[in-house]
Amino acid sequence: MMSEETVTATLLLSCPDQRGLVARIAHFIFERGGNILDLDEHVDANEGLFFLRVTWDMQDFSLAGGKVPAAFQPLADEFQAEWMINLTSIHNRRRLAIFVSKYDHCLQEILWRHGLGEFDADLALIVSNHPDLKPLADLHHVPFHVFTINKDNKLEQEQQEISLLKQENIDTVILARYMQVLSSRFVGEYPNRIINIHHSFLPAFMGGNPYKQAHERGVKIIGATSHYVTDNLDEGPIIEQDIIRISHKDCLADLIRKGRDLERMVLARALRLHLQDRILVYGNKTVVFE
């Protein structure tokens, strides 16, 4: 039976603020035998919006996991809500694809943390436009697919990639310093499910060579930003950012070295938040329920 396999359910919901939202949602869970493990809500008083994340134990829930969304639909309709319910299950973990080019640091970090069990997901495959990191993928026994990209074959190759992702039932795509810009079509297939790491504290230093830009501007801190990918390059909803101090003693190579550490930490934190269903996107911003 499905309900035996489903361990927890998490509802992410946003809607116009109104009285009784928490009471009615909590009651929906309570009357079906669910035990709330974590509930966090936020009201944006300026915009009159209500945001909620609630996780409950499915062990004694009266519905099988797969039937929860249909049961919740009437309430959601009444609230005019945007919402999703994610179920964690021992037999059905989310599947990840990592896109890389030649830099290995972000991939290393994710492979290592995955091995430690920090992410509640399966690492299904790695895609790259270069063969360089195949040995690393092999070490961790993760299938490695090369799709060489040039000006002429880009859309065609992307179509092959999308087919592969569909076939492999990929839920989330991680751009771990992947040096190609994805087309609108690709992005449209995975809304709020493609996570990128940009090597600056966006919106400073958008575009290429942000460390070079930072060095030339003479800033005293550099940063990294993880965000969902949208059609507008480097402008998607920001998930997580962090910074490190630098000084005049740091040449460009030092910035790149220090930035590597930032990039992998920030990307790993963003991925963890995503996989724990802690991120609710609205407009071009995120609510991160930490």
Q: Residues with catalytic annotation?
A: 234
Check binding of 141 to a copy of itself (CB under 8 A): no
Structure tokens at 262: 């930032």
Check binding of 151 to a copy of itself (CB under 8 A): no
> For the window 258-277, what string marks contact with a copy of itself as x by the rule CB under 8 A?
---x---x------------
Which residue, 91 or 249, is less far from a copy of itself as judged by CB?
Answer: 249
Pick the stretch among 83-91, 143-151, 184-192, 245-253 that binds a copy of itself (CB under 8 A).
Answer: 245-253
Q: Which of 163, 159, 166, 132 is nearest to 146 (CA)?
A: 132
Which residue, 185 or 220, is less far from a copy of itself as judged by CB?
Answer: 220
- CB 20 → a copy of itself: shortest distance, Å? 5
Check binding of 143 to a copy of itself (CB under 8 A): no
Distance (Å) of CA 195 to CA 75, 96, 223, 274: 31, 11, 17, 9
Residue the block writes with tokens 């709330």: 36
Check binding of 249 to a copy of itself (CB under 8 A): yes
- CB 223 → a copy of itself: shortest distance, Å? 7
Check binding of 19 to a copy of itself (CB under 8 A): yes
Check binding of 15 to a copy of itself (CB under 8 A): no
Site for a copy of itself in 171-210 (CB under 8 A): 201-205
Check binding of 148 to a copy of itself (CB under 8 A): no
Of residues 5, 7, 33, 92, which one binds a copy of itself by CB under 8 A? 33
- CB 158 → a copy of itself: shortest distance, Å? 28
Which residue, 40 or 156, is less far from a copy of itself as judged by CB?
Answer: 40
Q: How far does Cα 159 stand from its chain's mean position? A: 22
Pick the stretch among 27-35, 124-132, 161-169, 188-196 that binds a copy of itself (CB under 8 A).
Answer: 27-35
Residue the block writes with tokens 């809607």: 15
Site for a copy of itself in 81-140 (CB under 8 A): 105, 108, 112, 116, 118, 139
Check binding of 7 to a copy of itself (CB under 8 A): no
Pick the stretch among 21-29, 93-101, 156-164, 186-194 that binds a copy of itself (CB under 8 A).
Answer: 21-29
Q: Which of 48, 47, 46, 59 is nearest to 21 (CA)?
A: 48
Could you list the residues that contact a copy of itself (CB under 8 A)? 19-24, 26-27, 29-31, 33-46, 51, 105, 108, 112, 116, 118, 139, 201-205, 217-221, 223, 237-243, 247-249, 251-252, 257, 261, 265, 284-288, 290
